[in-house]
Each structure stands twice: as structure tokens, then as C-alpha cells.
Amino acid sequence: MTIKKLYDENFAASYQLEQYAFRFTDDQQHQDGLRTLFKHSTVYGAFFDQQLASQIIATPLKVQLFNQIFDMAGIGFVSSDPSFRGQGNIDQLMQQMLVDCYENDILLSYLDPFSYPFYRRYGYELTFERICYDVKSSEWPDSPRSDGYVRRLTWEKAKDAIKQIDQRSDQLKHGSVLREDWWYEYKFSISHTYYFAIYYNEQDQAEGYLIYQIENGKFNCTRWLNLTGTAYKGLNRYIASHKDSTDRIVYEKGYDKNAGFFLQDKPITQATIRPEMMARIVDIEAFLRKCSLKNLKESFAITIEKDKYAPWNEGTFELIKAEAEQPEIRKVTATQLPELKISVQRFAQLFLGYCSINELVFHELVQVDEKIVDTIKQLTPQQVPILEDYF
């Protein structure tokens, strides 16, 4: 078995393996979408003789966290020919991908798992949740008329407003992807067919958008983002206006522990919350150096005892308090400081804001000196991460 990166001449083989593994419709739209993704990603393949046996696609993207920009590898289309499963191909591909991320200062990686235990072995852990509303159209709550207006536009006419709203939104600053131009085209134009609705205020300024499909009697809302409460009302009223032309309204979004039920006089009575994407910290030491940790009240140490696929993370890292500056981060063989012992998976949940230190302590998922619990609490995010993109 040979591990190597795939290039243009390998696209046909890559596409055929993806189509066989994921059973999507083999049409021009899927070919164009995957060709775009292939072009902008690093594709790792395991070959037996000249046959592509397994592959993963790692897409370099950027995310915002701690008011800073982090490089992230989005992992997708992990697939194997059934003839070659169980031979450790994915192990080798994932390990090579993580080494490349480490060497290129890519500190985060996200993926959408088919199995949480399977990807947990590579250091990933559940970090994002999703909420889904799926109701009869007649039960969708309406909103009062707002002073602005909504316009349905083509992608070409809507995309500038959508990009500007994304850039201004605080909702996309807690682990979400900072979408590049090619990613917008790939997600919303090349690989799918959508409708686009923009809400404008009385001054003709765009304050919200809706990206949706209507298929088989369902109004399926893919993205809905508002900068103001009036934008929310205007776009919600627009959704409700489809009650007579559709049977059901479906809306999914990243779950931030607040479903917004309080916004309606008659709240939607059912919603499904489910676990979703996983995340991994590729390089613990570099991640700590990049995080904004100026609130450090007391020096302490973090110990990662095992990280098979990223062994550079194993060991103890001291965070040394410095007056009015970022703490000094140093890797040591032993420490006398109060200590947090944590797995690489729980580290990701803690420092991306999915779990608090109190939750991890309560469920006995970490070992920590009690006197530094408040210090850790002040360092880590108090808002859960949100993600609206898939890989």
C-alpha cells in the first residue's frame, strides 16, 4: 500500500470512489462541485498497485475563535473501496494529514463523523450541536410586519450582501468558518441549487438573509442569518408566507443552547437537538500560544498524557503568569505547579467552549487541582461554538 497526494490526473478515480462510497447522484452538478473542492484541497490517497483504495479530503479554511483567526483543516469524503477495508489505510492517511497540518501551522481540524468512536481515536471530539425544526407549514409562527422589505434574488445579485452580513455577524465568531470567495461559490452556487432572500431596512441596507430550497412540498431553510431583530421578523414573515404553497417547513441551525422559543407568541412545540461535528486541536502548544490568555490569574500546568496520532502533544505545558502580558508557555518534563490532566479530546471541548471545566470535573473526565478551577474558567470561552458549514 502506497500513501500519496492526489492531483488533477487522479480526479476521475477520486470522484468514482466518492460516488460509490456515498451514493450521491452521478450528474454534472456533483462533478463540478467535487472538482471545485478537489482543486482547493489536499487529497490523500492510499493505493494498492495503481488502484485507489482509500482517500480523505482535507480542505484548508480559516475559523474565528478568541477574536483571532485560526487555520483549520476541514476533513471530508473519507472513503474506502470495500475490497480494501480493515487494512489500516485510513489510519495512515489520517496520520499523514495530521503531520502535514502540524508542519504547516494548521492548528484546528473539523469533521462530520459517521461514527464518533471511530474518529475519537484520531483525537477528535464532539464540539458542535445542531437543532432542527420540522413542522407543518400551518404551524410555523408568523411575525408582525416590519418596516423593511425582503427581495428574492439570484446568487449573483445576492452574494455581496450575504458576504457583508457574514462579516458583520457576531454569531460567526465562535468557531465558524470565515468563508472565502471560492467556498461561497462551492457551497451556494456550484454544488447546490438554492433560492436567496435578502432583508433590507428602510435605508435599503441589507440586514439579514435566507438561503433555502423548495422540494417535494418542503420549504427547507439552509441558512438564516440576521443582524437585527427587525431582519428576523421580516425574514420569518417571508418564511410564513409559504404556508399555502408548501406542506412542511424545515429549518436546521447550529445550536447555541438557546432555541429562540421566547420570540414567538405560540412557540414551535417540537425541535430535535442532535450531536453534530467534531473538532481537534492539532498542536496544543501552538494553540495555547495563539489564544488570548491575558486573564490568567494564577500559573498552572496542563498535561496531555496520550495522543497517538499527534505525539508532539504529549507532555506537560506550563502557563506562567506575566503582568499585563500573554503568559509564558513552556513544555516541561515535570512541574510543581497546580495541574490540569486532560485528554486531547476534552482539551478541544474545553478550549472551544463546548464544555465548561465544571462540567468536565463533575463527570470525572479530567483531573484538576481545585484551586485553579476558577482560573481555567476565566480563560476558556463562555459561549458555545457554532458551525454552519460541513466538510
d(CA 22, CA 29): 15
Q: Which three cell numbers stand for residue 21?
A: 462510497
Question: Mean per-residue pLDDT for 22-40?
Answer: 95
Residue 327 makes CB contacts below 8 A (sequence gap 6+) with 293, 296, 299, 319, 320, 321
pLDDT at 107: 98
Q: Closest by alpha carbon to 130, among 278, 229, 245?
A: 278
Nearest 10 degrees: CA dihedral of 353, 115, 311, 52? -130
pLDDT at 118: 96
Q: Which three cell numbers stand for residue 297?
A: 490569574
Q: How confident is the model at residue 261 (pLDDT cuts 50, 70, 90)?
A: confident
57, 46 Cβ separation under 8 angstroms? no
d(CA 84, CA 157): 47
185, 35 Cβ separation under 8 angstroms? no
pLDDT at 295: 75
d(CA 276, CA 152): 30
- The tens digit of pLDDT for each residue in 264-297 reads 888 888 899 999 999 999 999 999 999 888 778 8
DSSP letter at 269 equals S
The answer on pLDDT for 303 being more than 90 is yes
The answer on pLDDT for 324 being more than 80 is no
The answer on pLDDT for 304 being more than 80 is yes
- The tens digit of pLDDT for each residue in 113-165 reads 999 999 999 999 999 999 999 999 999 999 999 999 999 999 999 999 999 99
Q: Which three cell numbers stand for residue 151?
A: 427581495
The answer on pLDDT for 262 being more than 90 is no
28, 193 Cβ separation under 8 angstroms? no
d(CA 145, CA 305): 57
- The tens digit of pLDDT for each residue in 32-66 reads 999 999 999 999 999 998 899 999 999 999 999 87
Q: What is the mean pLDDT of the chain?
A: 95
Question: Mean per-residue pLDDT for 366-385?
Answer: 94
d(CA 258, CA 387): 15
Q: Closest by alpha carbon to 15, among 39, 2, 223?
A: 39
pLDDT at 265: 82
pLDDT at 246: 98
The answer on pLDDT for 260 being more than 90 is no
Q: How confident is the model at residue 176 (pLDDT cuts 50, 70, 90)?
A: very high
The answer on pLDDT for 326 being more than 90 is no
Q: How confident is the model at residue 263 (pLDDT cuts 50, 70, 90)?
A: confident
Q: How confident is the model at residue 67 (pLDDT cuts 50, 70, 90)?
A: confident
Spatial strand order in the sheet of 108-111:
2-6, 42-48, 51-65, 68-80, 108-111, 278-281, 125-126
The answer on pLDDT for 26 being more than 90 is yes
User: In the chain, how many H helices and how many E strands?
Assistant: 11, 19
CA angle 222, 226, 231 (to 5 degrees): 115
DSSP letter at 139 equals G
Nearest 10 degrees: CA dihedral of 382, 252, 163, 234? -100
- The tens digit of pLDDT for each residue in 335-354 reads 999 999 999 999 999 999 99
Q: What percent of the chain has pLDDT over 90?
A: 87
- The tens digit of pLDDT for each residue in 198-219 reads 999 999 999 999 999 999 999 9
The answer on pLDDT for 224 being more than 90 is yes
Using alpha carbons, list the distances in angstroms from residue 126 to 113, 347, 350: 9, 11, 11
18, 56 Cβ separation under 8 angstroms? no
Q: What percent of the chain has pLDDT over 70?
A: 100
Spatial strand order in the sheet of 248-254:
149-153, 195-200, 206-215, 218-226, 248-254, 129-136, 272-275
pLDDT at 269: 83
Question: Mean per-residue pLDDT for 78-86?
Answer: 90
Give the chain's domains with CATH numbers.
Answer: 2-106 (3.40.630.30), 131-275 (3.40.630.30), 278-379 (3.30.1050.10)
